[in-house]
């Protein structure tokens, strides 16, 4: 079997930018979008020749809000990929959608074209929170989108929710989670809000929940999702058995992936690059970087540790031809002593370690 | 050049309050006499250290010789000696003044007389200089030249009605200043036939020439080959070169004789051998006694300086060595801190001097420094009769061995507009000041006289003064002496470990307040760890204040989107880099800047 490959398609458009969003996205008129899709199609076609030896295992339409594009264009892009690449028939093909931007007709077209996983950006079930975040949809629109998705045959759906929102109380959050669980999605991404520099939130006086409430929300999330049969397989991601997002897991496992569209990142054969984030230069690459062995080891650790399963001692040894103890012996025992890591055949974050994962991961950077 | 007519020489300086335009006037005088074309002029020619230009202050005395053709058709030689303006450098100022025969007093046409104006004028009059005033900044909308002239006559008692009205910045009225220099400043006295007697008013180190001594020849003559002796330090040497000062360059000449200002090089290796204020004489034909006024300069303020990166210790030592060659007032000796490793205890003339040295080390020598809280020299009288001069709080003997302690006291003059008298008196009271009296200079302004402990003014007194008077108060001080005082050592414990670099000496009545502020400040500076960290202030083992840095409970980067791993790695790198700049005390990592932030404990208001 040939090597697997992930494909990421970036759609940098949305109806209106959310106040906390620091991703590459903005509203645009239809002709701009059309021009972009044209360039994207030719980028896919041109680049595909380099990936003859790969077979595509996952495809991910991300944004922005990919569902702002007319659905036939999404279908067209997917067709182009299927035409130019060898796409396995077991491939996981995901699209992110926002309630309020997607009709039953669109969902039907996605499903029909082969998209088999849907990621719905809900964020909250509370109307006031959605407004505060600058979201364009209501809770009802979400319910509508979800039931349409089921109706047209989506059996793998993710719902994004957020905690630690401005003005959010514990009972608000509990309400959001409970309502999501009533729908029994296969996958839940639960993030806590991070106020990033450069976003409108950064400039605003926000009444964020204090640390204790934030902690409560965090712990509650894991408890209730476990109770409902979801496994926390990654720091912020929960799935029913067998429904882990393969596309994201591939990032953490450092499997090859290629991104198309502006700002998209790629890594193939231990070379990382990024596409230029300018609509005028679709397909241009920058920051091309051949990873040194040390950098590869660092990534192996800090990406692998995002997964609750952790990283395998044996795999490290096989990949880098050196025992992990030789490189990270000191860090491992220090982190073990602090009860942040379990240090067995698999090395993984403890519950305490998950809470302070950045601290642990930064220790694995080599001076 | 040796046949200069002594009656055509004018040696003078310019005195002013900070910001009244002293250096700008100096620039204009140099420009007008054609020494430099205006294209060559960089603003403030005499302030040639980068730092001096940037801060707009003069740190080292600078000197320049210029030739002026006066309206009477004669050529005159002007030696302009620029003096440092800050109270920290008072002694240097006084020695520079001693090299002059007259002084130009620059007064701001809007602000009038300020505390330093007075201090500097009195200093000039003490040296028997003939002083004439110049009213600067007359082009400002708020200028009141007549009021200022009257004020000068009333307050200082010198003739001011024919003072040139100028704008140094815009080059207005400069010719009049040059003419008055000729007529109002006397020609130097002294005779070239007497034994050599020359005053050192500055020196600097040049890596090719060795020490270059700036001097004013009072009596006699000196030329290449003269065997000279510094009368106070006793150092002797043979003169290699003599010369005078061009703008920014040294111009050799055959001989310096009575009345002249110039430089001498004599392959002297150490600036310390050529103390400012010392008298140079001819070994073969010595003068009978040295010139008056020589004083050994003592450091008033001490602090520890440590390289942020311990491996840079040798670099710091080399840098201090080099700086000392230029700045004899800088003192240093090695010390070790448990918290900060190897470093130096350094002595300075004052807080400004400290800041300047610190900035020069960081800029000119590219060093990243950690500085401990500045302190003064305390005298510790032990039970066994021994007296220790304490410069590092960590060396304070056990309290049971101490009979009593003394601290340095300064007499201060604060000039302030009447509306702020109340708040400034309150400030002085808070700083343990002793009120001596107040004099009204005119209806709206007064001089307050206080005695203040030096350790109360080296922290943030100046800032507090400015903020409580909306910038209107000005301040001058001089050391008065030592007084017995109830002092205690305040220790800071982080996670129950004493951090020596944070200890300092404080009056017992201020200990609680200072301790509480320190703890609050440190709480903000120390990042959360995986465990709770108590921060405590203690006096003699008794805890007087406590704050707690709560344990870190969350440090997660939630979203890692679209496979952009590089961005995530950058964040982790930043986190790790941050940790490197920390000092490890026990198992607590303390950022370097925490050590410095406690220097500025905000005054209320």
The whole-number pLDDT of residue A71 equals: 96
Contact by Cβ (8 Å): A224, A163: no
Taking contacts as CB-CB distances below 8 angstroms, the residues of chain B near A8 are 562-563
Chain A positions contacting chain B at CB under 8 Å are 6, 8, 10, 23, 62, 191-192, 194, 211, 214-215, 218, 235-236, 251, 257, 259, 263-267, 272, 274, 287, 289, 298-299, 302-303, 306, 338, 340, 354-359, 361-363, 365
B434 forms beta bridges with B451
Q: Does B532 reach chain A within 8 Å, measured CB to CB? A: no
Nearest one of B510, B503, B491 to B433, comparing CA atoms? B510
Q: Do B560 and A306 touch (CB under 8 A)?
A: yes
CATH 3.20.20.70 in chain A is located at 3-251
Nearest to B278 by CA among B213, B195, B212: B213
Rounded Cα distance, B562 and B558, in Å? 13
Q: What is the pLDDT of residue B418?
A: 87
pLDDT at residue B5, rounded to an integer? 86
Degrees, nearest 5: CA angle B34-B38-B43:
115
Instruction: Please give the Cα distance from B35 to B169 (Å, whole number).
Output: 18
CATH 1.10.10.920 fits A292-367, yes or no: yes
Residues of B in contact with A359 (CB under 8 A): 530, 552, 555, 575
Residue ranges of B 394-413 with Cβ closer than 8 A to chain A: none
Chain B residues with CB-CB distance to A273 below 8 A: none
Which of B556, B563, B572 is nearest residue A235 as measured by Cβ atoms?
A: B556
Q: Could you tell me if B311 lies within 8 Å of chain A, comparing CB atoms?
A: no
Residues in chain A: 367
User: Residues B327-381: pLDDT tens digits?
Assistant: 777 889 999 988 888 999 999 887 778 888 888 898 888 898 888 888 899 999 9
Q: State the Cα–Cα distance between residues B285 and B219, nearest whole angstrom.
A: 12
Residues 249-268 of B with CB under 8 A from A: none
Looking at the partner chain, which of B552, B561, B575 has a beta carbon nearest the beta carbon of A362?
B575
d(CA A90, CA A77): 19
Specify the domain boundaries for CATH 1.10.10.920 within chain A: 292-367
Identify which of B579, B569, B564, B509 has the alpha carbon closest to the alpha carbon of residue B539.
Answer: B509
CA distance A363 to chain B (A): 7
- Following DSSP, what letter does each residue of B436-483 receive, concatenated? EEEEEEETTEEEEEEEEEHHHHSSSHHHHHHHHTTT--EEEEEEEEEE
Contact yes or no for B283/B27 (Cβ under 8 A): no
Q: Do A267 and B564 touch (CB under 8 A)?
A: no
Neighbouring residues of A161: CB distance < 8 A, sequence distance ≥ 6: A122, A123, A124, A176, A177, A180, A188, A189, A190, A191
| pLDDT value of residue B601 | 63
Of A267, A274, A359, the CB nearest to B555: A359
**φ and ψ at residue A38, rounded to 5 degrees:** -60, -50
Q: What is the pLDDT of residue B482?
A: 94
Res. B274 pLDDT band, cuts 50 70 90: confident
State mean pLDDT over B560-569: 75
- B-chain residue closest to A363, CA distance: B576
Predicted pLDDT of residue A6: 97
The predicted structure's pLDDT at residue A10: 95
Q: What is the pLDDT of residue B43?
A: 45
pLDDT of residue B156: 84
pLDDT band at B26 (very low <50, low <70, confident <90, very high): confident
pLDDT at position B604 is 45
How far is CA B457 from its chain centroid?
14
Strand order in the sheet with B9-16: B62-69, B75-82, B9-16, B102-108, B130-136
CATH class, range A3-251: alpha beta
Question: Cα(A80)–Cα(A67) distance, rounded to whole angstroms?
Answer: 18
Q: State the nearest Cα–Cα gap between A109 and chain B, in angstroms.
A: 24
Tell me the two tokens of residue B198: 């020359």
Is pLDDT of B68 > 60? yes
The closest alpha carbon to B258, from B187, B201, B188, belongs to: B188
pLDDT range class, residue B435, cuts 50, 70, 90:
very high
Is the pLDDT assigned to residue A335 strictly greater than 60? yes
Q: Which chain B residue has its CA at the smallest distance from A6's CA?
A: B563
Q: What are the angstrom distances between the C-alpha of A139 and each of A17, A153, A154, B448?
A: 18, 22, 20, 71
């Amino acid at each position: 079997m040939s090597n697997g490959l992930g494909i990421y398609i970036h759609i940098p458009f949305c109806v209106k930018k959310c106040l906390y969003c620091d991703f590459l996205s903005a509203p645009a008129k239809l002709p701009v979008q059309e021009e972009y899709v044209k360039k994207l199609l030719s980028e896919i076609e041109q680049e595909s020749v380099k990936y003859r030896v790969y077979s595509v295992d996952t495809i991910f339409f991300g944004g922005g809000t990919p569902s702002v594009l007319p659905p036939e264009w999404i279908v067209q892009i997917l067709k182009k990929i299927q035409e130019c690449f060898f796409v396995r028939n077991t491939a996981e093909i995901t699209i992110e959608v926002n309630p309020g931007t997607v009709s039953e007709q669109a969902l039907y077209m996605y499903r029909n074209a082969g998209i088999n996983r849907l990621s719905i950006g809900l964020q909250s079930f509370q109307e006031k929170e959605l407004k505060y975040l600058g979201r364009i949809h209501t809770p009802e629109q979400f319910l509508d989108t979800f039931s349409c998705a089921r109706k047209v045959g989506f059996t793998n759906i993710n719902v994004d929710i957020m905690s630690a929102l401005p003005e959010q109380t514990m009972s608000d959050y509990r309400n959001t989670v409970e309502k999501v669980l009533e729908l029994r999605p296969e996958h839940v991404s639960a993030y806590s809000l991070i106020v990033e520099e450069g976003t409108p939130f950064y400039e605003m006086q926000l009444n964020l929940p204090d640390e204790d409430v934030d902690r409560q929300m965090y712990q509650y999330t894991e408890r209730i999702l476990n109770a409902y049969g979801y496994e926390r397989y990654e720091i912020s991601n929960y799935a029913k058995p067998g429904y882990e997002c393969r596309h994201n897991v591939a990032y953490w496992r450092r499997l090859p992936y290629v991104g198309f569209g502006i700002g998209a990142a790629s890594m193939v054969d231990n070379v990382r690059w990024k596409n230029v984030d300018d609509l005028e230069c679709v397909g241009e690459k920058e920051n091309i970087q051949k990873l040194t062995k040390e950098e590869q080891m660092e990534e192996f650790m800090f990406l692998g540790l995002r997964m609750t399963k952790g990283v395998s001692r044996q795999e490290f040894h096989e990949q880098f031809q050196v025992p992990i103890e030789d490189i990270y012996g000191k860090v491992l025992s220090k982190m073990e002593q602090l009860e942040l890591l379990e240090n067995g055949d698999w090395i993984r974050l403890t519950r305490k370690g998950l809470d302070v994962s950045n601290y642990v991961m930064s220790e694995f950077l080599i001076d | 050049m040796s046949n200069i007519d002594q009656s055509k020489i004018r040696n003078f300086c310019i005195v002013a309050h900070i910001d009244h335009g002293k250096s700008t006037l100096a620039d204009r005088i140099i420009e007008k006499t054609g020494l430099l074309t205006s294209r060559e002029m960089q603003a403030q020619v005499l302030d040639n250290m980068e730092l001096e230009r940037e801060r707009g202050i003069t740190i080292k005395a600078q000197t320049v010789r210029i030739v002026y053709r006066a309206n009477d058709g004669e050529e005159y030689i002007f030696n302009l000696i620029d003096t440092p303006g800050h109270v920290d450098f008072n002694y240097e100022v006084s020695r520079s003044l001693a090299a002059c025969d007259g002084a130009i007093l620059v007064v701001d046409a809007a602000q009038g007389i300020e505390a330093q104006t007075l201090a500097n004028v009195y200093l000039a009059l003490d040296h028997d200089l003939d002083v004439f005033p110049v009213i600067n900044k007359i082009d400002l909308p708020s200028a009141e030249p007549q009021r200022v002239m009257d004020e000068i006559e009333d307050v200082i008692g010198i003739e001011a009605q024919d003072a040139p009205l100028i704008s140094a910045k815009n080059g207005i009225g400069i010719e009049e200043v040059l003419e008055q220099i000729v007529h109002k400043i006397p020609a130097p006295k002294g005779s070239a036939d007497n034994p050599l007697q020359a005053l050192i008013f500055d020196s600097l180190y040049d890596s090719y020439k060795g020490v270059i001594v700036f001097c004013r020849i009072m009596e006699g003559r000196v030329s290449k080959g003269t065997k000279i002796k510094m009368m106070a330090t006793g150092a002797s040497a043979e003169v290699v070169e003599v010369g005078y000062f061009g703008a920014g360059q040294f111009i050799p000449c055959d001989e310096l004789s009575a009345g002249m200002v110039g430089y001498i090089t004599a392959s002297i290796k150490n600036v310390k051998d050529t103390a400012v204020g010392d008298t140079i004489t001819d070994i073969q034909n010595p003068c009978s006694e040295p010139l008056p006024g020589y004083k050994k300069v003592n450091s008033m303020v001490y602090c520890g300086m440590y390289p942020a990166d311990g491996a840079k210790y040798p670099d710091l030592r080399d840098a201090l060595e080099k700086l000392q060659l230029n700045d004899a007032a800088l003192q240093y000796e090695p010390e070790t801190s448990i918290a900060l490793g190897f470093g130096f205890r350094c002595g300075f003339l004052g807080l400004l001097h400290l800041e300047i040295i610190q900035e020069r080390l960081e800029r000119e020598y590219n060093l990243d420094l950690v500085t401990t809280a500045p302190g003064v020299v305390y005298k510790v009288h032990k039970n066994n009769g021994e007296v220790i001069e304490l410069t590092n709080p960590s060396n304070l003997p056990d309290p049971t061995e101490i009979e009593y302690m003394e601290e340095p006291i300064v007499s201060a003059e604060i000039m302030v507009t009447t509306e702020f008298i109340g708040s400034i008196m309150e400030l002085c009271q808070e700083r343990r000041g002793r009120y001596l009296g107040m004099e009204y200079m005119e209806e709206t302004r007064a001089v307050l006289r206080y005695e203040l402990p030096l350790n109360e003014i080296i922290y943030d007194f100046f800032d507090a003064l400015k903020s409580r008077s909306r910038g209107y108060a000005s301040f001058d001080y001089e050391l008065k002496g030592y007084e017995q005082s109830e002092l205690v050592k305040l220790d800071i414990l982080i996670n129950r470990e004493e951090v020596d670099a944070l200890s300092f000496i404080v009056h017992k009545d201020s200990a609680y307040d200072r301790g509480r502020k320190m703890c609050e400040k440190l709480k903000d500076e120390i990042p959360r760890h995986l465990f709770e960290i108590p921060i405590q202030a203690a006096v003699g083992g008794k805890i007087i204040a406590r704050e707690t840095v709560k344990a870190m409970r969350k440090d997660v980067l939630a979203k890692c989107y679209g496979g952009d791993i590089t961005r995530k790695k950058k964040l982790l790198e930043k986190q790790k880099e941050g940790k490197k700049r920390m000092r490890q005390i026990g198992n607590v990592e303390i950022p370097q800047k925490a050590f410095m932030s406690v220097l500025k404990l905000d005054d209320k208001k």
